[in-house]
Amino acid sequence: MSTRSGRVPRGRARRRVGTVVRLIAALILAGGLYAAFAPGVYAEEDPQLSQAAKDGKAIFDNTCVSCHGRNAQGVTDRGPSLIGVGSASVEFQVTSGRMPLARQEAQAERKPPYWSDPEELDQNARLLGQYIQELGGGPQVPDGNLRAEGGNTLARGGELFRVNCSSCHAFSAGGGALSSGKFAPSMAAATDRQIYAAMLSGPQNMPVFGDNQLTPDEKREIITYIQNLKEDKDPGGWGLGRIGPVTEGLAIFVVGVVAVVFAALWIAGKS
């Protein structure tokens, strides 16, 4: 209860100050106990790594650290953090030559890889992937055969591809344009592991297809279908580059116009 002058009685003021002091002391004590008994919550400056990851770290420190930072935690305006992207993303970006990035642009394009020897490229990509995997986890490409087997594999793979992939990559897997200068690339040069890794990591504008969306078997069926497209030699006739309705429509238009012109000339000559 305040006095006539509006001041709080001294006893009540002391109690309020005492309450605040006790609260601050309790918070400091709780924080000290937490820091003393839970040191594992702090990030390790030098995390414990396997030998393969240590070898990958040595490669990372020579080729990637300038953009992605120490311990792959990223550098502002230069490169994102790689914590949690998994070895799948590393394998895709490195083996397809998209990383190291040549220049900042709308999209990282496929180019000759940093290591020209295929065996060295595969080994270094896996070592880098192991390092990133042990730093923060993430999706991994399984080892072994990544193609499906069975009588209906191509039919199922084709159906899955048309439902999930063709809207961007076109029905022939030749790629297509997107917005803002970006595009879905052609799959002509993609390997089995690169396709599987892309489905797991979702590079650029591509969505991530986790195992709850496309099972590992369905991913293998899609890969089998895509690789079969490269081997098919158009048994039904001329494929017109497999670009799709644009070239087909152009061919029909040109042939049709030529036919109409010749028909008109023939009729005029007869008359």
Total Cβ atoms within 10 A of residue 34: 11
Q: What is the pLDDT of residue 81?
A: 94
Q: Span 201-227, mean pLDDT?
A: 95
3 state SS of 9: coil
Same domain membership, residue 172 and residue 121: no
One-letter amino acid for residue 100 of the chain: P
Q: Please indicate, yes or no, if residue 265 is contained in any of the structural domains.
A: no
Could you tell me the CATH number of the domain that includes residue 104? Answer: 1.10.760.10
Task: Determine the Cα–Cα distance for residues 89 and 80; give it in Å rounded to an integer.
Answer: 13
Same domain membership, residue 157 and residue 221: yes
Same domain membership, residue 160 and residue 124: no
Same domain membership, residue 119 and residue 69: yes
Where are the alpha helices (H) located in the chain, listed in sequence order? 10-37, 51-63, 65-68, 86-95, 118-136, 153-164, 166-169, 192-201, 216-231, 245-270
Q: Span 213-220, mean pLDDT?
A: 96
Q: What is the pLDDT of residue 188?
A: 92
Same domain membership, residue 171 and residue 128: no
- For 216, the domain range is 153-233
Q: Please indicate, yes or no, if residue 21 is contained in any of the structural domains.
A: no
- What's the whole-model pTM score? 0.71
49: confidence class by pLDDT, cuts 50, 70, 90: very high
Same domain membership, residue 128 and residue 63: yes
Domain boundary among 136, 163, 190: 136
Q: Span 212-233, mean pLDDT?
A: 91
Q: Please indicate, yes or no, if residue 4 is contained in any of the structural domains.
A: no
Q: Span 114-128, mean pLDDT?
A: 96
Q: Please indicate, yes or no, if residue 131 is contained in any of the structural domains.
A: yes
Task: Determine the Cα–Cα distance for residues 225 and 136; give it in Å rounded to an integer.
Answer: 33
Task: Determine the Cα–Cα distance for residues 79 and 17; give it in Å rounded to an integer.
Answer: 50
Number of domains composing the chain: 2
Q: Please indicate, yes or no, if residue 95 is contained in any of the structural domains.
A: yes
Domain boundary among 75, 104, 136: 136
Q: Span 141-145, mean pLDDT?
A: 95
- The mean pLDDT value of the chain amounts to 86
Q: Please indicate, yes or no, if residue 220 is contained in any of the structural domains.
A: yes
Q: Please indicate, yes or no, if residue 246 is contained in any of the structural domains.
A: no
Task: Determine the Cα–Cα distance for residues 264 and 60; give it in Å rounded to an integer.
Answer: 70
Domain boundary among 95, 111, 136: 136
Q: Span 153-178, mean pLDDT?
A: 93
Task: Determine the Cα–Cα distance for residues 68 and 90; give it in Å rounded to an integer.
Answer: 12
233: confidence class by pLDDT, cuts 50, 70, 90: low
Q: Please indicate, yes or no, if residue 245 is contained in any of the structural domains.
A: no
